[in-house]
Structures are given as structure tokens and as C-alpha cells.
Structure 1
Amino acid sequence: MDLEAVAAISRVKYTYLRALDTKCWDEFADTLLPEATASYGEHLAFDSRDALVEFMRSSLGPETITEHHCGHPEIDVDGDTATGRWYLSDTVLIPEQGMALCGAAFYTDRYVRGPDGRWRIAHTGYERTYEATMSLSDMPSFRLTSNRWAAESDSGDGTM
């Protein structure tokens, strides 16, 4: 097993998740090949890095807080290509819409090591094991006490 490649592939997946959650779109894009494809469930698919990044940038603005965790990687390396399967647990909070989502899925990825020696994602996608949504109004004790993007979305009267 090529443990150095497995570590580098793990790092690119973790960077993908961190950049997504911190809205660092240039860094997010750099984890993907230009021709990368993605599919998230049955109704959300992309045929290029630019299309995926633009969707994420426009859909996950400052009013949307995301938290993605991947673990239990199963990575197989074959020269300059690899496949990976990851267990995903995620949470999405949209306080403006009074909504929370939580779920789990299994990612299935393909990776390519480029001429620069860096691994990038050629395809990423997941199949949900479950997804649940809830109204934040059903949780009367819910209070968002910290939000990195609050200054961007704060209405000025102390509410978000």
C-alpha cells in the first residue's frame, strides 16, 4: 500500500471539506481537477469544477452554516489514480429560514495525481443513508451564539 499517496489523498479530501465549510472558494476549487464531476444524491450533479464551485458559492452564502465530517477512508491507489470511499456526517444551519438539516452518506471519489505531484479530485459524490430536516422554531431553546459570518449577514439590530 502506498501510504504516502493515501495520506496525500486524505489531506485533499479534508481540505475540500474545510474549504467548503469556511467558504474559501479558491482553495475549494484547487482540490478539484478543472474537468471534475460531482453528484450529490439524485438531483444535484455537476460536469465541471467551475459549475460546482459557482453552485456552492451562490448556495452557501453567509446565512448558511455547514459542518462536514468525513472519516473511515477506504483508499485504493493504482499508480497516478485512486479511488476512495468516505463516511460523511453533515449538518447545515440556515437560521434566516429557520431550518436545520443533518444527515449521513457515503462519498465515492476518484483522484488523479497531476504532473505537479499533487492529488486532486476527478469525481466526488455521495449516496445518502439518511437526511433529516427540522424547523428551528420546533427547538425553542435554539440560539446561534457564534457565527463567523454574522457581520456579513447581521441586519444591524442584533438579529441574524
Structure 2
Amino acid sequence: MDLEAVAAISRLKYRYLRTLDTKSWDEFSDTLVPKATATYGVDLQFESRDALVDFMRNTLGPHVITEHHCDHPEINVEGDTATGTWYLADTVLIPEHNMVLRGAAFYSDSYVLCDDGEWRISHTGYERTYEVVVKTTDLPSFKLTFNRWALPTGPLFESPRAQ
């Protein structure tokens, strides 16, 4: 087993998740090859890096807070290509719609070692094991106390700095 490649691919996946959650779209784009494909469940499919990044940028903009965790990697390296399976747990908050989504899935990824010596994702996608959506109004004690991308406004947002 090529432990250096496994470590580099693990860092790549973690960077993919971090840049997705921090909305660092240029760095997120750099985790993918230009012809990268993606399949998230049945309905979301992308045939290029640009299409995927544009969708994420437009859908998961500052009005959406995301948290993605992947662990339990199973990575197989064969020369300059690799595959990986990861367990995903994620949370999506959309304060303006009073919505919280929680879910879990298994990612199936393909990777390629690029000419610059960096591993990148050539395909990514997941199949959900479950997904739940809850209205924050159904949670009487729910209070969003900080949002990196928004000013403190609205009934769900009570910032300690505003008090």
C-alpha cells in the first residue's frame, strides 16, 4: 500500500470538505480535475468541474451554512489513480427558510495524480443512508447565535455581540 498517496488523498478529501463549508470556491475548484464528474443521490449530476463549482457557489452561498464530516476512509491506490469510500455526516442550515437538514451517506470517489504531483478528484458522489429535514420553528429552543456569512438579523438570530 502506498501510504504517502493515501495520506495525500485523505488531505485532498478534507480540503474538499473544508473549502466547501468555508465557501472558498477557487480552492474548492482546485481539488477537482477540469473534467471531474459528480453524482449526489439520484437528482444531482455534473459533467464538469465548472458545472459543479457553479452549482455549489450558487446553491450554497452565504444564505446557507454547511458542515460536512467524512471519516472511515477506504482508499485503494493503483499507480497514478485511486478510489476511495468515505462515510459522510452532514448538516445544512438555511436560516431564512427555518430549515435544518441532517444526513449521512457513503461517498465513492475516484482520484488521479496530476502532472503537478498533486492528487485531485476525478469523480465524487454519494448515496444517502438517511436524510431528515426539520423546521427550526419546531424546535422552541433553537437559536442561531453566530453565522460567519450573515449580519445578526431576524428572530432566529440572536448574536451575543448585539446584546
| Residue number in structure 1 paired with 2:78 | 78
CA distance in 1, matches of 2:5, 2:131: 32
Unpaired runs of at least 5, structure 2: 158-163
* Pairs within 5 Å for 1:144-155: 144-151=144-151
> Deviations along 1:52-96, whole A, 9 cap, x unmatched?
000000001111000000000000000000000000000000010
CA distance in 2, matches of 1:82, 1:113: 8
CA distance in 1, matches of 2:97, 2:75: 38
> Deviations along 1:1-23, whole A, 9 cap, x unmatched?
10000000000100000000000
| Residue number in structure 2 paired with 1:129 | 129
CA distance in 2, matches of 1:13, 1:61: 21
| Residue number in structure 2 paired with 1:8 | 8
The structural deviation recorded for 1:140 is: 1.1
The one-letter code of the counterpart of 2:60 is L
| Residue number in structure 2 paired with 1:142 | 142
Give the number of equivalent residue pairs: 155
Where in structure 1 do 4 or more consecutive aligned residues deviate above 4 Å? none
| Residue number in structure 2 paired with 1:58 | 58
CA distance in 2, matches of 1:80, 1:61: 34
What SS does the aligned partner of 1:150 have? coil
Unpaired runs of at least 5, structure 1: none
CA distance in 1, matches of 2:61, 2:78: 38
Identity %: 70
> Deviations along 1:116-149, whole A, 9 cap, x unmatched?
1100000000000000001110001111001101
| Residue number in structure 1 paired with 2:93 | 93
CA distance in 2, matches of 1:33, 1:110: 11
Q: CA RMSD in A?
A: 0.8
